[in-house]
A and B are shown apart, each in its own frame.
Chain A
Amino acid sequence: GENVEQHPSTLSVQEGDSAVIKCTYSDSASNYFPWYKQELGKRPQLIIDIRSNVGEKKDQRIAVTLNKTAKHFSLHITETQPEDSAVYFCAASIRGSYIPTFGRGTSLIVHP
């Protein structure tokens, strides 16, 4: 099955700085990579996703990049704001399985 590693486990930045969270996956057949944001005590919410036929996707301050050769993908948040503080999870899904495997999460803290 798929194995997803996520780093760092905790990331602390100043408001306005950029934040980058990285994930690696093990199965080259994975073709779908979503990112979720989970605020304390709340449900995970999809913030962006990317499929294996593109290398980068951007939505306002959030972008995701995918390197299929190296089997890693990253979440980039620019101009961070205190409300970006949350736990972020990456996930990868093997083609045909319909089951995403999640990373262990990164706790992002944005200091005002």
Chain B
Amino acid sequence: GAGVSQTPSNKVTEKGKYVELRCDPISGHTALYWYRQSLGQGPEFLIYFQGTGAADDSGLPNDRFFAVRPEGSVSTLKIQRTERGDSAVYLCASSFAGTSGSPGTQYFGPGTRLTVL
């Protein structure tokens, strides 16, 4: 079946602009995660959705970052007034709901490489 997809694969923007990054999870996965990965680092948690609601947004760095998942499937990560420091690969992952207080197996998308000039 189809895996997690993300669009665009690359996004170049100018400082101060607004960007939207899209994630299509695996069908039936109720959990969706956004991560940010800088060169030489592991994925850094941003936000976690269970269904339509943000169950944990503690990783969002500031109020310029926002994410939605209105129908419990596709999610959009929105970044306002972009800064050069926002440049990174933004990864999305989805999973079935976790059990026993642990996350389900996460399947990652290919990522969107964001470059802010």
Contacts and interface: CB of A to CB of B under 8 A. Distances in A.
B55 interface: yes
B47 to A, nearest CB: 10
B25 interface: no
Nearest to A91: B42
Pick the most buried of B41, B55, B101, B107: most chain A CB atoms within 10 A of its CB. B101
B66 interface: no
A45 B103 contact: no
Contacts of B40: 104-105
Given A43-B108, A43-B109, A98 B102 contact: yes
A35 B38 CA distance: 19
B40 to A, nearest CB: 7
Interface residues of A, number: 26
Pick the most buried of A91, A97, A105: most chain B CB atoms within 10 A of its CB. A97
Nearest to A1: B58
Interface in A34-63: 34, 36, 42-46, 49, 51
B109 A99 contact: no
A78 B9 CA distance: 35
Interface of B: 4, 31, 33, 40-45, 48, 50, 55-56, 59, 91, 98, 100-103, 105-111
28 contacts: A31-B102, A36-B108, A42-B110, A43-B91, A43-B110, A43-B111, A44-B91, A46-B107, A51-B102, A89-B42, A95-B101, A97-B101, A98-B48, A98-B50, A98-B101, A98-B103, A99-B45, A99-B56, A99-B103, A100-B106, A101-B45, A102-B42, A102-B43, A103-B42, A104-B40, A104-B41, A105-B40, A105-B41
